[in-house]
Amino acid sequence: MSFKPGDLVLVQPDSEKPGVSEPEWWMGWVVFCEGNARDPIALSLFQVADCDDGCIRWVNADEATRLVLSGLQTSKVLPL
């Protein structure tokens, strides 16, 4: 999946982490994308700013789903 800074994503954290109490899901804006060591083109980690509290967290690509909002023009989105 192709993510880029400015994308709105739905994050569903891995619930298998022992001792970690996280919400079932949260929404945020992609701030930074990083490729993996084997294939720098394949993005695997993202920094995402939580829409609720502004906290920036690292997210694995398999925990994120890109949201497409009809009528949202990327040219009118304010940078973080």
Q: Is 75 a domain residue?
A: no
Does residue 63 lie within any of the structural domains? yes
**Confidence band of 61 (pLDDT split at 50, 70, 90):** confident
- The verdict on residue 12 lying in a domain is yes
Q: What is the pLDDT of residues 5-36, one digit of tens each?
A: 888 999 998 766 666 666 789 999 999 988 76
Instruction: Specify whether the CB–CB gap between 43 and 37 falls below 8 A.
Output: no
- The answer to whether position 73 is within a domain reads no
CATH number of the domain where residue 32 is located: 2.30.30
Q: Which two tokens stand for residue 31?
A: 């701030």
Residue 66's pLDDT is what?
86
Which pLDDT value is given to residue 71? 62
C-alpha distances in Å from residue 28, one per residue of 8, 41, 52, 54, 74: 6, 22, 8, 8, 15
- What is the spatial distance between Cα 79 and Cα 16, in angstroms, rounded to a whole number? 33
Residue % of the chain over a pLDDT of 90: 29
State the pLDDT at residue 30.
92
49 within domain boundaries:
yes
Distance of CA 19 to the CA centre of its chain: 23
